[in-house]
Each structure stands twice: as structure tokens, then as C-alpha cells.
């Protein structure tokens, strides 16, 4: 299995033209062997749950933070294509955490 980390931008076989951002904490990934992702839209406007990110290799998109999915990389063919900077990881994580906070 490839070593995946929070902040990796990946391709998942079966999804043409769509990239995904790994949002799970590294500890969660190591313990469970699975990870959560959200899709990166090619186009879209930024908003509270739509965070623009750009990878270190210039892969860019808008992280759709309300569309979280759990992926088992053993069952799916996942390939890392880029990685976002830590500041972007923090912005996406903050947006996702805001969905689950209490009122």
C-alpha cells in the first residue's frame, strides 16, 4: 500500500477528471488503514465550506468540505498526484470541524 498522508491530492480509479483531498489525520490513517476525502472541484466559488487549495506541483481546485467520503485504499486504486501546504490543510480542517461543532 502506498503511504498516504493528510493533505495529499489523489486520483481514485473510476472517477475521471476528479481529484480528491485526503483530510483525515495521519494517526487515523495509520491506525485504521482508511482515510476521509473530499472532492476538489475544477471550478467553483469559494465560501465557508468551499476552500480553494493549490498543491506544491500547482494542482488546484476548490475543496468541497461538505462532501466527505471514507475511502479504503486497499479496495480502490488510489494514486497521489500532489500535496497541499500545511496552511491549506489547516483551513480545510477548520471548515470541516465547523460543520460538526455544537450550536
Residue 29 pLDDT class (50, 70, 90 cuts): very high
Instruction: Give me the domains of the chain, ranges plus CATH numbers.
Output: 8-100 (2.30.30.110)
| 82, pLDDT greater than 60 | yes
Q: What is the pLDDT of residues 39-66, one digit of tens each?
A: 999 887 889 999 999 999 999 999 999 9
Distance CA 53, CA 103 (A): 28
Residue 11 burial by Cβ neighbours in a 10 Å radius (0-12, 13-18, 19+): middle
Amino acid at each position: 500500500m502506498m503511504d498516504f498522508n493528510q493533505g495529499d491530492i489523489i486520483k481514485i480509479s473510476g472517477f475521471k477528471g476528479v481529484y480528491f483531498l485526503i483530510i483525515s489525520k495521519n494517526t487515523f490513517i495509520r491506525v485504521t488503514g482508511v482515510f476521509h476525502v473530499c472532492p476538489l472541484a475544477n471550478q467553483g466559488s469559494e465560501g465557508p465550506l468551499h476552500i480553494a487549495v493549490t498543491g506544491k506541483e500547482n494542482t488546484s481546485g476548490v475543496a468541497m468540505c461538505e462532501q466527505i467520503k471514507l475511502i479504503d485504499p486497499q479496495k480502490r486504486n488510489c494514486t497521489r498526484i500532489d500535496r497541499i501546504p500545511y496552511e491549506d490543510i489547516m483551513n480545510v480542517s477548520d471548515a470541516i470541524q465547523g460543520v460538526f461543532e455544537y450550536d
